[in-house]
Structure 1
């Protein structure tokens, strides 16, 4: 009696230990799921920040080009203004020289006019006192008239030149003012571009700082993920050792294996049931999309498409035993996954023999008779 109580107590302890162990594994799995969600969100945010930074840097590049072009235009216009200022200075000097020349020419003309006037007023008196030939006096008078006409012509030409200089000066002044207004507007535009570039530079700095911080956080999260995966792997190994210590050896499961299907039609299955007595695979004609269950505890070593078998699942039960499940339309497990007896591993489909599933049991790569292993099949 005491022995039975002790065994029962040990079973309860083992069960409670297993339950607590499963809770620890589930908690670690939940932490891993949450951690991966954080990683995904942070990675997406990081990608958006990098995209924004690239876009802003592209705009900054364009702004810098505009600034360079604006600076070149301002320099060119400033050079044009300087040229026009120099031309205005030269014009002013020419005007001063021209004014002096005009003043001298006017003085000369006035002097000639006065001389001619005096010669014409008292010609005879001058002839008497000078005792000169009258013909000479006439020639002198004509000479003075010729000189006066020449001076008047030069004076007229000088006045025309002065007028042209004034017009050129006015044009240069207008152009100079236009260039000054243009430079002023360009300087305003340049200031706006510089301010825009400064703001974008600040924004790039902020985004870069954010990217660096998020990158560091992402690295930390990946490290946490790695540590958590190592912990889960360790827990899985310990759990596997514990489960393996509690699970019966496959060789002891004769007549106790679960069939990988629930119910089949008797008329359709009767022919295939005869295959259970032979060392051959079995095709079971079950409805398409029916659940396919694992016959026993083990590890999935293959879960993929295989020519001749369709979507195939192979489970390793240790000690050289394997179970194969073929002709599936959908697989619900993946390679490396540990499963228990009765776990849903696939949905049935159809193969070369029709709608149904392919099932076989192997030991040391040899097909064995299923009648010695499977429980009684449920027939509808």
Structure 2
């Protein structure tokens, strides 16, 4: 019995030791597992923080790229404006030179005809004077002297003297005419030569301006290529066009606010389907058709060759003549009673703010300023800020 109790006690102690050992082993095993899990969580958090940092860096880099792109695009758009203005300046100079060339050539032709007429008149005077000299020589001065010495025929002498005086006066008059013709011929010849030299100088200037025009045009082509390389999304393109349209509306609203109506401008209300189009060409985009997204064309885009004259549809006053983003070189004319006409994307502007223009008068030359990809004219008609369909006004 005592051995049994002793054995049972030993077994119990052994069991407790085993249990304690197992607990200790369990604790020893559990701690590394928890430690490993904590390490894994820490590593995962570090990984997430690293990924978050990478994302934030990517966002910052993308924002920086967008900023740089917008800045670069703004710079290119400013360069496009400078290119358009340079082309406008050269084109205006070329247009003036061509006008001077035509006027100078007309003056040369006029002087040449006048020179021919004076040469013919000179030849006639020379022939007449030669005849008079031959007649005087044939008559001889001895007859005149003989008559003076002959005292018997006083009446005949008096008539003969009067005759000789008449001949001398006529001869002197023809000589004076001859002198005038010679002087006029000399002046016309000098002026004719001056005009020819002026014409040659204009031709040299024209060649220089043509070279400058080609250089400006190549620069504009490079700028447009750089702009086209910066592809815009549909939403970006829509925002760009919307901003340009708002820019135009703000400019027109400011003009309308400061505009003082003129009594002699009666507007366009009675001229429906009676006005001529500002330029001959094909309509590429019609009023009211889709432009981009929900935006519509507020006017018409007329395709026409470069440098073709743009004419005002009706008399009025120029109230805007400058470069405007999205519209290039732009002219706006007030026709009175709240009516305005707008002419955009010109190559050069021929009128300045405040100029009065008459119906059909040239106001600009067709171009593609403002980034237009082909030459043409953008044309609008507005009444008190509201856009009107040009097809209802132009025949």
**TM-score with structure 1 length normalisation?**
0.48
Give the structure with the higher percent helix. 1
**Higher Rg of the two aligned structures:** 1
**TM-score with structure 2 length normalisation?**
0.46
